Amino acid sequence: ITAAQKYETCRISVLFQDLIRYGKTKQTLRRDDWLRVFDVPKRWFWHFYAISVGWNGLLLLLYLNLTFRHQSYPPWLTGSLDILTGLPSTDSQVPQLSTVLVLLLLCVHSLRRLLECLFVSVFSDGALHLVQYVFGLGYYITMGLTVLCSDRLGKGTGTLLSQLDWIHVAGIALFIMASLMQHQSMVLLARLRTGKSGTVETLAHRVPMGGWFELVSCPHYFAELLIYVSLSLVFGGLSLTWWLVVLYVLFNQALAAQLCHELYISKYESYPRHRKAFIPFIM
């Protein structure tokens, strides 16, 4: 391998790392100045959740209008769903109740994360790539459309309440548990930078302690995975497309957790070696 080839390989590696890292895991990456032009503040995460609350709230209202008042979707939504499903119409795969609950829980999850970003989390000067930012905006818009694609016609048997099944209850219970876990983790992370009065004292990164941090380096990422699994349960496990979303979240959050875990180990000699990166006792 020539020196020129090594240089090009190194540049490609840096470009790739620049695209997959964000926040504290990006700060240790040696990058050319021109790459920093594409940085946007990590604190802009709240944009994702603001878009999600508004968009998925709108889709929920349109779906309820279809279900109870039998009014068709607006043409722009019908056209979007036709493009995504590939067919003008398909048989309903899931009960109406599942669709209502998943859209509602998506709104609840996004609203909680929005409030945490605005009033709980203390962001440093960490950055994410512009591509990651644009992808994130598109991702949260696509989520709601994915839900509607699983129930293309909005058909169901009986009233919404009569469609209630044990798997809906199990999914909601897991959703609440995972949401509490994630919220606790975000509060503990914020306390690393605030004093007893709640004022910000430092933006430095410290070793998180307490709660699920005693088992894994990134319990908030693990909780995110559980939240998406819970929504799949609310679907009754009937939506293959949503299981593919869960698979994406698994790989995405596992990668982010592993990068954080490696950073903690390299930066802090006393970092607890028994902690896993992502899933307790497993990985």
pLDDT score of 91 = 52
Q: Is the four-CA dihedral 79, 85, 88, 91 of positive or negative sign?
A: negative
Instruction: Tell the burial category of 113 from Cβ atoms under 10 Å away from its Cβ (0-12, 13-18, 19+).
Output: buried
The answer to whether residues 151 and 186 belong to one domain is no
In a domain, 19, yes or no: no
Cα–Cα distance, 283 to 281 (Å, whole number): 6
- The phi and psi torsions of 165 (rounded to 5 degrees) equal -130, 165
Q: State which H helix or E strand residue 40 sits in.
A: strand 39-41
pLDDT score of 92 = 54
The answer to whether residues 218 and 230 belong to one domain is yes
Top-confidence residue, 203 or 193: 193
The answer to whether residues 88 and 194 belong to one domain is no
Structural domain ending residue among the three candidates 145, 164, 183: 164
The answer to whether residues 48 and 113 belong to one domain is yes
Query: Are the beta carbons of 175 and 223 closer than 8 angstroms?
Result: no
pLDDT digit string, tens, across residues 55-114 = 999 999 999 999 888 899 999 999 999 888 876 545 556 889 999 999 999 999 999 999
Beta bridge partners of 128: 40
Cα–Cα distance, 258 to 75 (Å, whole number): 43
In a domain, 146, yes or no: yes
In a domain, 3, yes or no: no
Q: State which H helix or E strand residue 111 sits in.
A: helix 96-119
Q: Which domain, by its residues, includes 226? A: 165-283
The answer to whether residues 154 and 106 belong to one domain is yes
Q: How many domains does the chain have?
A: 2
In a domain, 32, yes or no: no
The answer to whether residues 117 and 41 belong to one domain is yes
Q: Tell me which DSSP letter residue 72 carries.
A: P
The answer to whether residues 179 and 129 belong to one domain is no
Which residue shows structure tokens 């430092």?
A: 202
Query: Are the beta carbons of 277 and 219 closer than 8 angstroms?
Result: no
Is the pLDDT assigned to residue 196 strictly greater than 90? no
The answer to whether residues 100 and 152 belong to one domain is yes
In a domain, 18, yes or no: no
pLDDT digit string, tens, across residues 217-267 = 999 999 999 999 999 999 998 888 899 999 999 999 999 999 999 999 999
The answer to whether residues 211 and 98 belong to one domain is no
pLDDT digit string, tens, across residues 173-195 = 999 999 999 999 999 999 999 87
Structural domain ending residue among the three candidates 130, 149, 164: 164
Instruction: Tell me the average pLDDT of the chain.
Output: 89
The answer to whether residues 89 and 174 belong to one domain is no
pLDDT score of 93 = 63
Segment of 117-131, 192-206, 247-261 carrying the highest mean pLDDT: 247-261
Residue 204: strand, helix, or coil: coil
Residue 264: strand, helix, or coil: helix
Cα–Cα distance, 44 to 220 (Å, whole number): 18
In a domain, 74, yes or no: yes
Structural domain ending residue among the three candidates 108, 134, 164: 164
Q: Is the four-CA dihedral 226, 227, 232, 235 of positive or negative sign?
A: positive
Lowest mean pLDDT among 29-38, 141-150, 202-211: 29-38
Q: State which H helix or E strand residue 127 sits in.
A: strand 127-129
Lowest mean pLDDT among 24-33, 149-158, 197-206: 149-158
